[in-house]
Structure formats: C-alpha cells, structure tokens
Structure 1
Amino acid sequence: MPRLSPIAIALGGTLLLAGCASSAGLAPQGTPRDAATIEAGRALAGAPLSPAAWPGARWWTALGDPQLDALVDEALADAPPLAAADARVRKALAQAGLADAARKPSVGGGTQYAVAQLPAGLAGEELGGQLMHNAVLTLKFDWPLDVWGGKRADYLAALGQARASEVDAQAARLSLAANVARSYVALAQAFDDLDLARREQARTGDLVALGKQRIAAGLDNQAALRGNEALAATATAQADAARHRIDALRNALAALLGQGPDRGLAIQRPHLLETPAPALPSVLPSELLGHRPDVVAARWRVEAAAQGITSAKARFRPSIDLSGLVGLAATGFKGLFDSDAFLGFGGPALSLPIFDGGQLRSNLAARDADYDLAVAEYNRTVVDGLRQVTDAVQAIRALDAQAAALEQARTAAAAAAQVVEQRQRAGLANRLDLLAARKPLLQAEQQLAAVRSQRYAAAVDLDQALGGGIAATAPTPIASH
C-alpha cells in the first residue's frame, strides 16, 4: 500500500474526530409572523381605503399651524434624544466594521533591537561573557479562512444590528415629532379651557352681583348667593388650572426642543385647523412592515439573530488559518541586510473542537434563544402596530360622532340662550334667567373643545401608527432556521 504523508494522516484523523462536537438536536422554535395573516378587516370596516393613504414625511403640516411646523423642525434639528440615537447608530456601524475586519487578511510589521549577555558558566567561553547586539525586522501575515461562512455571518449579524439602530433613530424622530404635536394639541386645549373658564367666571360673577342685589331688595336669600359664590370660586380655580397647564405645556415643548423654559415663553397660542377624515392604505396590514420603523427594526434584529445561529454552527467545524512571518535578523544593524540574514516560516493551521465541556452547544442554544426572543418581539411589534392603527381609527370614529352630537347640543343651547335673551329684551324674562340659560351653552362648548382636542390627538396617533411617512428598508426574506 502507498505510504500516506504525515499531513494527510493528521488531516484525516482530525476530520474523524469532528463528530465529537455536535450541534444535533438544537434548533430555534420561533417563526416570524406574516402581517397579512392578522385579522383586522371587520374592526376597520368602513374606513376609506386608498393606496396613497400612508402619511407624508411632514404629516404634522396637515394640522395647519405654521408655528407647529416650525417647532417640529426645530426639535428634529437638534434635540438631545436624537443625538443619542445617532451615537448608537455610529457605534453599531463601528461594531459591524470590526466584524468585517475580522474576516479579512491582516499584515503587520515590527522591528526590534536587543542587547543581551549570557554568563560564561552557562553559555561557554565562546558565547558567554560577551555583549551581543541583535536586530530583527519582521513582516507578519495572517488570514483566517472563512471556509464555513461563520465570520461572514458575524459580520451580517453586526450589520443587521446596525440597520436596526438606523431604523431606531428614525423611530426616535417620529416619536419626537408626535410628542411635539401632542403637546401642542394639549396646549391648544389649555387655551380653550382658559377662555371657557373666564367666560364662566364672568357668568358666575354676574350671578353673585345679581344675588346681592336681590337680597338687598328682599327678593332672594343667602342660600342662592352662597351657591353662586361656590360656582364663582370653582370657575376661578378652573382658570388657574388652565394657566398652570399652559405654563407646564410650554415648558414641556421647550424641553422637547432641547431648550430651557424661557424658550417656551415665546410659544404663542396655537391655531389648529380641522383635521381631515381618516383614510387607511388599501394594502394594510400586509405592507405595515415597510412603513413602521419599530416593525422594520424588529425584523432586522430577527435577521441578525438568524446570522448569529449560522456563526454558532460554523464553530463546530474545522477552522483553517493561513499565517506566515518573514523578516531579517542579524547581530547588529550592520549585517541586517546581508543575504544570510533572511528568516521566514508559515503555512496553514487546522484546528477543530473535540471536547469543550459543552461550550459550543451552550453557545448555539443561547443563539437559538436569541432568535426566538427576536421573533417573539417582532411578532408582538406587528400585532401592537396593527392594534394602534385600529385604536386610532376607532377613536376617530367615536370622537367624530361625539363631536357631531355635541355640536347639535351646542347649537340647541345657543338657540335656547338666544330665545331667553330675546324674552329679556321683551320684558318676559329677567337677567337671572339669561345667566342660567348660558350655563348649558358653556358646558356644551367645554365638552366640544375637549372632544376636538382628543380628535386632533387621535389624528396624530394614526399618523404615527402608520409610520409617519418613514420608508425603511427591511431584510427580505427573514432568515429561518
């Protein structure tokens, strides 16, 4: 029989031992959910559908207030939360760069000058007792061959995390714009509440003054006066509360802009327009994935976790590393470039895990669990995203119905107050009747203002739930293992 070379024998023996470290029986359990399989047709039935119903990139301009537009632009330009999100993106990209560099060849150079003296009793008379000067100049090469794709998977996993961080930064911008819009809507309601509280102060103040006149004329008693004084005090408290909300919301807006409270003092009273009726994209929910940044980021993390499994599996297989070193070495710099000063060695190195106490299996099991966690988070995010869209649409429907009913109530109350005013002019009613008739009108206007504010907030919620005009690129398809 032909003789086998020592290299072939070593390689064959190593491969025979490959079965000692096995990944058999380990696999993730999670399955990413298809958004199109989530039922929402009945809950969203009746909502207008259009392929172009996704929010625009500057969706907040639909509220029709230039001051709001300027505030959102200012917040998106230089708010601290965005700086933190951008820093996380840069860090993730740097980590991806490290993973990419780990799978590429590396070359390094070095030089050394050393002085040594050995004892004569140890090295002999020929070498011992003499001061020796040594100079070395080397060039080292190393290339870990990625035979099984594990290092590439590490790079793709890091790149997936970086992509997720980039989309997280977009989500931070969307969240910031939505929070500015919500705070601005709340500020508008606080000003409306202040107006209504002042009107109630005027009405109850007239009631108190009229009550004192009637008591002086012997036409009324103290009980009615005390009741009206209580109403007047309540109206004053409501006005004070509205002023406090205005101050607090201005401070909140200033903080969202990354500025101090003095910036909030420059914010004028909002002037919002009516919001349009809600419309939903006809491709919902199947295309929700590409529009909501949180869903896209979660999907990138699933892909990154899948690549982590590929990397963990590759560690069960043999690894090959090409390395070498060339250089010059001599006694002192004088002979460093002589023909006999050359040194060099190199070649392939093969290594294979055989017994590791279960470290590789535990690592793979952890990567499988990471994948299942990422899939579970992705599935939850998809379901929550569609729920938020549905909540916003249903809230808009309910608030529109409430606003219509309250508008009728306000119209009726205004008509009733006008009739009493006409009767007073005709001498058929007194001022007390007129002040009493204005109370239902103020109550209806107060309720209507609250519902309109909630309607504005629901419009903001819907735009955010639909992704706020962000177009993020998701991995296709999601890797499965």
Structure 2
Amino acid sequence: MTTRTAKNSARLSALLAAALLAGCASYSGIESQARLRTPDAFGLPAGGAQPSMPVSPAWWKDFGDAQLDRLVGQALDGSPNLKIARARVARASAVLELANAATVPQVEGSLEARRQRYTENGAVPAPLAGSIRDTGTLQLGASWELDFFGRYAQALEAAIGASRAAEAEVEAARVLLASQVTRSYFQLARLQDQLQVARRTLAQREESLGLVRDRVRAGLDTTLELRQSEAGLPEARQQIEALQEQVQLTRNALAALVGRPDLQVEARSLANARPVAVPSAIPADLLGRRPDITAARWRVEAATHDIESAKAQFYPNVNLSAFAGLSSIGLSRLLEAGSLQWGVGPAIHLPIFDAGRLRANLRGKTADLDVAVESYNGTVLDAVHDVADQVASSQSIARQQVQQREAQAAAEGAYEIALQRYKAGLGTFLNVLTAETAVLNQRRLGVDLAGRALDTQVQLMRSLGGGFQPDADTQRLATRTPS
C-alpha cells in the first residue's frame, strides 16, 4: 500500500468516525406545533381580488384641518415612545451587523514584547535556562468558519427578519400615535360642540324664565310654572361645568400626546372636518397593509431561521485558521529572516455528548416559533375584527345620522309650536318643557353622532394600516402560502 493510499484511507476513516460521532447528537422529535393560518381562514378574499382603498401616509390631512396637521407633526417629531421604537431598530441593526460578520473571514494582528527569566528546572535547555531574555512576536492571523450546514447563514436571515420586524413596529407606533392625536383632537371638538349646545340650552331656558315671569306678573301663570322654569337653570349650569371639566382633561391628554404641556389649541367644530371615504367590505390586501401584521410575520420568519440555525449546531463545525509572523528571543533579531513562522490547518468540532444542551436550545427556539406563529394568527384575527367593526360602525352611523337629522327637524318644529301656543295661552308650560327636552336631546345626539362618525373614520384609517407602504419583500411575505 502506498503512502498516499494510506493517507486517503486515514482521512476516510476520520470522516466516517466523524459522521458516527455526530449521530450521537440528534434533533429528531423536536418539531413546531403551530401553523400559520391562510387568508381565507380569516374570511379574507383570495389573492387577486381588488385592492382596498388607498390610505395616504399622512392620512390625517384628508380631514382638511391645518391645526390637526400641525399637532400630529409635533407628536411624531417628539414622541418618546416613537424614539424608543427607533432605538430598537438601531439595536436590531447592530445584531444584524454582528450576524453578518460571522459569515466572513476574520483577520487580526498582534504585537507582543516581553522580558522573561527562564526556569533552570524546566524543559528549557541551556543556555536559556536561568537566563533573562527579551522575546518578541509580530504576527498576523486569520480564521474562517466554513458554514457548510448554514448555521451562520440562517442566523443572518433571522437577524434580517428581526430587523425588518423592528422597522415595521416603528411604523405601527407611528400610526397608533397619529390616530391617538387625531381622535383626541376630534374628541375635544365634540366636547366643545356639546358645550355650545349646553350654553344655547342655558340661554334658551333663561329666555323661557323671563317669559314665565312676565306672564306671572300679568296674572296669566302661577308660581308652579315659575318654579318649573327656574328648576332648569341649575341643571343647565351643571352640565356646562361638567363639559368644561372634560374639555380641560382632553386638552391635557392631547398635550401629553404632542409632548407640549403648554399646548394651545383653538376651538374647532366637528362641522369643519372633511369626512373621508369608507370601504364597503374588508380589503383583500389587509395582510400587507398593516404594520403590526407585517411585524408579526417578520417575527415568524426570524423564528423559522433561528430554528434552522439551531439545527445546524448539531453538525460539525469546520474552521480554517492560518497565521504568519515573526518570533525571536532577543528583540534585535525579530526582523531577521530566520524569525519567520507560519502555520495553516483546519479544525473540526463535533457535538457528541453535551448533556442535552443542543436539544434544549432547539426546543426553546421551536417554542419561540410557536409563540410567533400564534401571535401572528392572533394579530390577523384582531385586525380582521377591527376593520369589520369600523366598517360596520361607519355605515350604521351614516344611516343613524340621516334619521337623527329628520328627528331633530321634527323636534325643533314641535318646540316652536308648543312655545307659540304657550305665548297665546293655548297650552301649558309643561308642554314647552317637554318639547324643549326633545330638542336638546336631538342636538346632543347630533353632536355625538358627528363625533362618532369622525372617530370611526380615524380608527378605520388606523385599522387599514395608516398609510403603511410595504416593500416588495414584505408583499411576498404577506401573500406566501403557509407551509
């Protein structure tokens, strides 16, 4: 047998031994139990259906209020929560860079100088034994772990997924903050409109009290009608005070969202807001338009690659290392040709018996995937529910507003008739109070419905993604059929 044949046989034996030893660590029996649900499982139309109504990234400008635009802009610029989300993106980007660095060769240099006394009773022979010498080393080393089984490639893909998820979460935080500011702004407008109704109510009751007093002095009414009229004033004043308290609390909440404790907001009426269009059904492309769903899907993607990376740890690691440099006893000889040293060779590390560490790590990663998948399923389910609620509410409120306007017109007419009959002595003041109560209830209901209509439109913009613009990779990920 030749020397080369003997060497080849030795190498083959080593490889076979490595394969047998690697079989001692196995990930069999560890599988994810959760499954991504398909769009049709959530009642969404199949792919290829007509896309939803477009939502602008600055959707709040569609309401046509410059003051609202300014407030949302200030909130997005100064929100601590949004800055925290951006810091998480920076953290995820750093992890991504670290994972990428593991896939390329590493090179390092070293320079060492030392003054040393050599032992007389060791392995160092004379004349070094017992002497004090200067030693120096100047060396360049390189190493590269060959990623045959994809451990680092999968870790890199997992880091990419986590980074993309963090970016989507920033967009989700942005959409949520803009919707909170807009809802608070319209809530403030609703309360101010209600305050105007309450003030008109007080003025109307004061006018009625003056009329009753005139009739009492003329002997046309009794003290009963006077007391009935006077009883309505404290109630109206109490309602005004309660609304003023709510106005101030809402201003404080809006100031906190914007990040300006000294925030000054001019009074606005709901009537000045421009309504936005409302879709008639849940959009087909919901999965790709909501940043929270996108973030959850990227978390699933990252967890999937984490599992593959954990599985790759069960296989051998092959590392190529090399060094070249100068080393000498006596610094004066360090740069001589005879001081050259070098070395090159592979290193193979095999997982054999690790007390279950690799399997435990894989089980943990598998559990992380199950959590990510079910979190995604839950996020989609909540999103579908959210959009369905906002669409249904928007359509219902529009129908309610038609009926309310008709009811208010009828109540206003009945009040005018009751008041004229009372002035003519053909009716009692109790009829006037009853008619007035109906009018005031309709006015309050009209303001509440207008406020609900705008609030629902804001929530619909948020539930449709708030203008999130997914890229091509995200669109493919959103429409990928679960395996």
- Normalising by structure 1, we get a TM-score of 0.90
> Which of 9, 20, 23 is residue 24 of structure 2 equivalent to?
20
**Residue equivalent to 2:163:** 162
Deviations 1:68-109, CA, capped at 9 Å, x for gaps: 122222222332221111111111111111111112111000
**Residue equivalent to 1:106:** 106
**Residue equivalent to 2:404:** 406
Count of residues in correspondence between the two structures: 470
The equivalences for 1:385-400 within 5 A come to: 385-400=383-398
On the 8 A contact 2:51/2:285 being kept in 1, the answer is: no
> Which of 2, 6, 17 is residue 3 of structure 1 equivalent to?
6
SS at match of 1:32: coil
Matched, 1:72 2:76: no
Distance in 2 of aligned mates of 1:99 and 1:349: 21
Distance in 2 of aligned mates of 1:465 and 1:212: 56
SS at match of 1:127: coil
On the 8 A contact 1:207/1:432 being kept in 2, the answer is: no
SS at match of 2:360: helix
Deviates more, 1:193-202 or 1:386-395: 193-202
Post-superposition offset of 1:38: 2.1
The equivalences for 1:244-255 within 5 A come to: 244-255=245-256
**Residue equivalent to 1:57:** 57
The equivalences for 1:80-479 within 5 A come to: 80-120=80-120, 126-208=127-209, 228-260=229-261, 262-263=262-263, 265-271=264-270, 272-280=272-280, 284-423=282-421, 428=426, 434=432, 437-473=435-471, 474=474, 476-477=476-477
On the 8 A contact 1:201/1:236 being kept in 2, the answer is: yes
Deviations 1:272-315, CA, capped at 9 Å, x for gaps: 3352452247xx55411110111111111111111011101111
Deviates more, 1:452-461 or 1:221-230: 221-230
Distance in 2 of aligned mates of 1:468 and 1:408: 34
1:21/1:72 CA distance change after superposition, 3 Å = same
Q: Could you tell me the percent identity over the aligned residues?
A: 36
Distance in 1 of aligned mates of 2:111 and 2:74: 55
Deviations 1:339-384, CA, capped at 9 Å, x for gaps: 1101122211111111111111121122111111111111111111
Letter of the 2:178 counterpart: A
Distance in 2 of aligned mates of 1:433 and 1:286: 55
On the 8 A contact 2:37/2:482 being kept in 1, the answer is: no
SS at match of 1:357: coil
SS at match of 2:416: helix
Distance in 1 of aligned mates of 2:51 and 2:424: 60
Distance in 2 of aligned mates of 1:254 and 1:344: 68
On the 8 A contact 1:36/1:286 being kept in 2, the answer is: no
- Normalising by structure 2, we get a TM-score of 0.89
Deviates more, 1:3-12 or 1:231-240: 3-12
Distance in 1 of aligned mates of 2:226 and 2:416: 25
Post-superposition offset of 1:56: 2.1
Letter of the 2:268 counterpart: R
SS at match of 2:115: strand
Distance in 2 of aligned mates of 1:336 and 1:479: 64
Distance in 2 of aligned mates of 1:53 and 1:78: 30
SS at match of 2:194: helix
Post-superposition offset of 1:331: 2.2
Deviates more, 1:102-111 or 1:67-76: 67-76
Unaligned runs of 5+ in 1: 42-48
RMSD: 2.7
On the 8 A contact 1:184/1:270 being kept in 2, the answer is: no
Post-superposition offset of 1:227: 5.2
Distance in 2 of aligned mates of 1:162 and 1:250: 37
On the 8 A contact 1:203/1:435 being kept in 2, the answer is: no
1:475/1:411 CA distance change after superposition, 3 Å = closer
Distance in 2 of aligned mates of 1:480 and 1:277: 33
Unaligned runs of 5+ in 2: none
Letter of the 1:37 counterpart: A
SS at match of 2:6: coil
Distance in 1 of aligned mates of 2:412 and 2:207: 19
1:472/1:117 CA distance change after superposition, 3 Å = same
